[in-house]
Amino acid sequence: MGLIMLSYSVSRAEQPEFISLLESYRNCFESFILNNKQEAFSCFEAGLRSNPTNWPVLYNSAVILVEQGKFEAAYERFLKVYELKPDFPAARLGMAFCKAKLGDFEKSIDILQRANKWGEKKLDAQYNKALAYAELKKFQEALESFEQALKIQRDHFFSLLGKGLTLLKLGMTSQAREVCLAAEAFWPEYPEVLKCLGLAEAKMGNHANAQAYFDSAFSVEPSATNLVNLLVHLLKRNEREKILALLDKHKGLLRTAESNYKAALILISVGDLSNSIPYLVAASDKDLSESHLVLGKVLKDLSDELQSKKYYEKYLKNRPHCKGDIADSSKTSAFISKAQTKPAYTQKNGCGIIPLDYDVNWSLPFSTNWLRENDSYGLDVFDNEPVRP
């Protein structure tokens, strides 16, 4: 979380006493403006002790908690605001935002679904609901919510991009490409735009275009996801030397089990069994079942039967019903190739391995623009949401 913008102003509420009420908290606002957030929070707290039903002050204290990343506490404050002022949209939007940040996407959606008529017309409600559906892998519902958001604001960058990425997930590649091209017109260097277009071009067989987009995405944002996608694309083009050079230079980016596992499969696919071992060990240490299996096979191919048995045992501890994977006498590269070419074999009954492919997972920021719309109630604090130029 980070402060992007804030303001102190007097409410436009009908009651004159409401103006006086906010004016009495000038010191709290000034502390916040000076970046003394805890001091500002304590100032609001002192006021709430004498008047716990002061909903504008409750709201402002919740906003500070959001800015501090204390989403559970912020949720409770927004809930109290909603109970006191049910016709104040920011309270419900704040509740839904906090639940999403806490990973309770079902609850976040439920809160927004209950927003009735105003929720249908609120861009943030539709956009954040789409992201929550996407987190739950309910991509058809996510697509519908992104489309609703675009009906409200047809040039909303993040809704356009979210729609494009969702279409990719649904296998609607040509439509995804068109939507992401529209998003590119607004922000051509945003990493997720470049990733979307790279994936779409690759799936459509436009390899030169895909290469350019993957290169650009990694240049703008050198992340594990962008590195893996670039490596997978280079593998499809048989660019062995470029793969080895990139991995040697950027292996420090691979911090997750999944990214280390994919790097290992790429190395095995270019015939470098020995150098795949450190990546498989890193993934195995995080208990990724597939890495136990592949590492066991690699070590067996390299005639290290003792260590091979150790990792086979770790695999069977997680998947005791998958002895057939161990019994398969194929060389490691052939075993991986089988998973690539025969999807029915892969992960059948929870056995087998995850095949090597592009990383199509994505993450967009939940919107906090709803806070900006309520500057008349006090503080405006936003998430570290990228600001479109």
Whether residue 377 is predicted with pLDDT greater than 70 in this model: the reply is no
Q: Between 118 and 49, whose confidence is greater?
A: 49
Mean pLDDT of the chain: 86
Q: How confident is the model at residue 109 (pLDDT cuts 50, 70, 90)?
A: very high
- For residue 302, being part of any structural domain is answered with yes
Average pLDDT (206-226) is 95
Q: Is position 309 within any domain?
A: yes
Does the pLDDT of residue 382 top 50, yes or no? no
Please tell me whether residues 324 and 269 are part of one structural domain. Answer: yes
This prediction has a pTM of: 0.82
Greater pLDDT, 384 or 232: 232
279/336 same-domain check: yes
Is residue 273 in a domain? yes
On whether both 229 and 324 belong to a single domain, the answer is: no
d(CA 26, CA 378): 10
Domain shared by 231 and 324, yes or no = no
Do the Cβ atoms of 88 and 58 come closer than 8 Å?
A: no
Q: What are phi and psi of 351, to 5 degrees?
A: -110, 180
Quick check: 11 pLDDT over 50?
Answer: no
Pair 318, 284 in one domain: yes
What's 361's DSSP letter?
-
Q: What is the pLDDT of residue 20?
A: 61
Task: Check residue 117 and give its pLDDT.
Answer: 66
d(Cα 230, Cα 233) in Å, to the nearest integer? 5
Say which residue, 310 or 379, is predicted with more confidence.
Answer: 310
Opening angle at CA 244, ends 241 and 245, nearest 5 = 85
Q: Could you tell me the residue range of the domain that residue 46 belongs to?
A: 1-102+368-389
> In this predicted model, what pLDDT tens digit does every residue of 136-194 receive, in sequence order?
999 999 999 999 999 999 999 999 999 999 999 999 999 999 999 999 999 999 999 99
Residues 4 and 94 in one domain: yes
Coil, strand, or helix at residue 383?
coil
Q: Are residues 1 and 98 located together in one domain of the fold? A: yes
pLDDT digits (tens, 9 = 90+) for 350-367: 788 888 889 888 889 998
> Looking at the 3D structure of the chain, how many domains does it have?
3
pLDDT in tens, 328-358: 888 998 888 877 765 544 555 678 888 888 9
Rounded CA-CA distance 62/71 in Å is 9
Residue 387 has pLDDT above 90, yes or no: no
Tell me the pLDDT band of 17, cut-offs 50, 70 and 90.
low
- Which of 205, 240, 275 lies at the terminal end of a domain, its last residue? 240
Residues 190 and 278 in one domain: no
Q: 328-335, long-range: CB within 8 Å, 24+ apart, which pairs?
A: 331/297, 331/301, 332/268, 332/273, 332/294, 332/297, 332/298, 332/301, 333/268, 333/269, 333/271, 335/294, 335/297
Q: Are 73 and 102 in contact (CB under 8 A)?
A: no
313 and 384 together in one domain: no
Residue 114 lies in a domain: no
The CATH number for 308's domain is: 1.25.40.10
Examine the domain organization and report whether 337 and 381 are in the same domain: no
The pLDDT of residue 350: 75
Q: Residue 10 domain-assigned?
A: yes
The answer as to whether 297 is a domain residue is yes
- Residue 113 falls within a domain, yes or no? no
68-102 tens-digit pLDDT: 899 999 999 999 999 998 888 888 999 999 999 99
Q: Domain for residue 213, yes or no?
A: yes
235 and 197 housed in the same domain: yes
Q: What is the mean pLDDT of residues 281-293?
A: 95
Looking at residue 79, what is its pLDDT?
A: 96
Same domain, 94 and 5: yes
Is residue 197 scored above 70 in pLDDT? yes
> Given a cut of 70, is residue 388 above it in pLDDT?
no
The C-alpha atoms of residue 119 and residue 207 are separated, in whole angstroms, by: 42
User: What average pLDDT does range 50-58 have in this prediction?
Assistant: 86
217-221, 270-274, 316-320, 376-380: the lowest-pLDDT one: 376-380
Domain final residue, candidates 210, 240, 270:
240
